[in-house]
Amino acid sequence: MSLKEPPPVVPAPPGDAPDSTGPADENPGPAGGAKAGHAHRATAWPEARAAARRAGAGARAGREPSGLPLGEALGRVLAGPLTALADLPSFDTSAMDGWAVAGPGPWHVREEAAVLAGHAPAAALATGEAVRIATGAPVPPGTTAVLRTEHSRTERPRSEGPEHPRTGEPPRGGRLLLRALREVVGGQDIRPRGQECRSGDELLPAGTTVTPAVLGLAAAAGYDALRVLPRPRVEILVLGDELLTAGLPHDGLIRDALGPMLGPWLAALGADVLATRRIGDDAEALYAAVTGSTADLVVTTGGTAAGPVDHVHRVLDKAGAVLLVDGVKVRPGHPMLLARLGADPARPRHVRHLVGLPGNPLAAVSGLLTLAAPLLAALTEPAPFAEPGSSTEPDPSTGPGPSAEAEPSTGPGAPAESGAGSEPRTPVPYRVPVRDEVHGHPHDTRLVPVVRHGGTAVPLRYNGPAMLRGIAAADGLVVVPPGGARPGQELDVLDLPWPPTAGAVPAQGACFT
């Protein structure tokens, strides 16, 4: 985005002030307050993410890797290390178009067809001999260097003897002679067999995401198919009778902003989105959808609070779900929740979870990044996962109760993202100074949309819980500690799972003024 000089952040609109947690907001909301028939135990933001990771890790058992042809493996996660199936290169190869030479020059040219890529190796060169060769061709045995065409000259030496009696032409020359125009170093422009790897070398560790470059490497190393982890299967249930799926808002009805957003967002996080279903405010339909889902993760939107038609808690209760996180000390999004759903008798090893996102759209994004993203990342980690401070995974069948599973195992400042012995795939926040002062909530973490600009994170306006205007133009969300941040203070930034917007949407600059 062409945000040369982004304007300073301004407080959220007055109507959103309590939720967007300016310093005036002393009301802890449901996190510390009452909810009819339901004791709310809000979890601190870092611990909520850790609990989501543990939940994902605990649900990994029984998720069998599968072999996929290269063409279908893009975006998947390698189930095991990518081990070279051949030496690379698999033969001594010419790196340039020119001459394969043997010994010191000048060389007598072997006047035969050039050795081409894909051809069988030519006969061995004797010292003092040269043969034409193309890039990628196997160098003949005896080759000591490759001489680039542009660094060489050929000549046909005059033979002794009379001129041609009729034409007067000089006598026909002897064997073509090749001379180097610069010093030739032994082995130059030859890629020796095994230069990149030997058969059996580990090229990439388990857990690597299959990118186009990984596909290329795998093909080069001899793979036709890759063992990859299954994508987490996600089902999205959109609640709310007030939602329209087309047209303009009218008569108190509004457009569903989450249905179109969450599927692609979850797919960008590596999920296989089975369906996005609109459930309305029908508790029975919600119960049937939750209990009948075969997904690894059910994501609901709305209905998490204590309003008259907010059914999520009641439905989870009835479904025998275990609440692992019930409210998070984060703004927006504090009513978000994470639950472990009851086991499916048909697949007792299949552990299913539900993330309840609040209905306010930016609050839903906050829940997505706080609970769904770490859970999905941990679900697709291949190596045995261990949270720092814990040595065993929870047993999915008998798993510990909510308090044990949600119990923080990392303190502030601890390397919360690292699993023992393996690089974590969970998106790790990184630290960037904020350009402007950011208001904080007195007790809770705040997540604020930012763009990256000149080495700083610039907080964006339109960051109220019901707004998407800020996040749609953002590169990430900055994690503002309770109490806020001063200009220049280094804060964690959570990236969005797509390329930065910077430079791509210049017209949006006007949004922040």
* 302 interacts with ligand MOO by CB under 6 A: no
Shortest spacing between CB 18 and ligand MOO, in angstroms = 8
Shortest spacing between CB 358 and ligand MOO, in angstroms = 4
Classify 191 as helix, strand or coil: strand
Q: Closest Cα to residue 55, out of 394, 345, 358? A: 394
Q: Of ligand MOO, ligand LQZAQKY5, none, which one sits near residue 238, judging by CB under 5 to 8 A according to partner kind? A: ligand LQZAQKY5
DSSP 336-380: -EEEEPPPBTTBTT---EEEEE-SSHHHHHHHIIIIIHHHHHHHT
**Inter-CA distances, 199 with 86, 93, 193, 210, 430, Å:** 4, 17, 11, 20, 37
Question: Of the two residues 92 and 256, which places its CB atom closer to ligand LQZAQKY5 in the complex?
Answer: 256
Q: Of ligand MOO, ligand LQZAQKY5, none, which one sits near residue 140, judging by CB under 5 to 8 A according to partner kind? A: none
Q: Of ligand MOO, ligand LQZAQKY5, none, which one sits near residue 310, judging by CB under 5 to 8 A according to partner kind? A: ligand LQZAQKY5
Let me know: does 357 contact 300? Beta carbons within 8 Å: yes
* 464 interacts with ligand LQZAQKY5 by CB under 6 A: no
Q: Segment contacting ligand LQZAQKY5 (CB under 6 A): 123-131, 195-203, 237-245, 448-456?
A: 237-245
Question: Of the two residues 332 and 374, which places its CB atom closer to ligand MOO in the complex?
Answer: 332
Q: Closest Cα to residue 387, out of 406, 373, 402? A: 406
* 360 interacts with ligand MOO by CB under 6 A: yes
* Given 301, 380, 445, 456, the residue binding ligand LQZAQKY5 (CB under 6 A): 301
Q: Of ligand MOO, ligand LQZAQKY5, none, which one sits near residue 307, judging by CB under 5 to 8 A according to partner kind? A: ligand LQZAQKY5
Prior bond of 23 cis (ω within 30°): no
* 333 interacts with ligand MOO by CB under 6 A: yes
Shortest spacing between CB 362 and ligand LQZAQKY5, in angstroms = 9
* 334 interacts with ligand MOO by CB under 6 A: yes
Q: Of ligand LQZAQKY5, ligand MOO, none, which one sits near residue 257, judging by CB under 5 to 8 A according to partner kind? A: ligand LQZAQKY5
Residues 6+ apart with CB under 8 A from 59: 296, 351, 352, 353, 379, 396
* Given 92, 235, 296, 310, the residue binding ligand LQZAQKY5 (CB under 6 A): 310
Let me know: does 266 contact 376? Beta carbons within 8 Å: yes
**Inter-CA distances, 193 with 138, 187, 213, 302, Å:** 10, 12, 22, 60
* 361 interacts with ligand MOO by CB under 6 A: no
Residues 308, 324: Cα–Cα separation, whole Å = 24
Question: Of the two residues 221 and 261, which places its CB atom closer to ligand LQZAQKY5 in the complex?
Answer: 261
Residues 96, 136: Cα–Cα separation, whole Å = 8
* 445 interacts with ligand MOO by CB under 6 A: no
Question: Of the two residues 19 and 129, which places its CB atom closer to ligand LQZAQKY5 in the complex?
Answer: 19
Between residue 14 and residue 33, which ones bind ligand MOO under the rule CB under 6 A? 19
Beta pairing class for 297-301 and 353-357 = parallel
CA distance from start to end of the chain: 14
* 358 interacts with ligand MOO by CB under 6 A: yes
**Is the torsion defined by CA of 60, 61, 64, 70 positive or negative?**
positive
Classify 27 as helix, strand or coil: coil
**Is the torsion defined by CA of 246, 252, 257, 260 positive or negative?**
negative
* Given 131, 206, 243, 365, the residue binding ligand LQZAQKY5 (CB under 6 A): 243
For 157, phi then psi, to 5°, come to -60, 140
* 484 interacts with ligand LQZAQKY5 by CB under 6 A: no
* 240 interacts with ligand MOO by CB under 6 A: no
Element (H, E) at 470: helix 469-472
Q: Between 459 and 488, how does the x/- string for binding to ligand MOO read (CB under 6 A)?
A: ------x-----------------------
Shortest spacing between CB 331 and ligand MOO, in angstroms = 5
Prior bond of 427 cis (ω within 30°): no
Between residue 349 and residue 378, which ones bind ligand LQZAQKY5 under the rule CB under 6 A? 358-361, 363
Residues 152, 95: Cα–Cα separation, whole Å = 16
Shortest spacing between CB 49 and ligand MOO, in angstroms = 16
**Inter-CA distances, 510 with 2, 39, 269, 435, Å:** 10, 44, 30, 18
Footprint of ligand LQZAQKY5 (CB under 6 A): 19, 29-30, 238, 240, 242-243, 254, 256-258, 301-305, 307, 310, 332, 334-335, 358-361, 363, 465
Footprint of ligand MOO (CB under 6 A): 19, 331-335, 358, 360, 363, 465
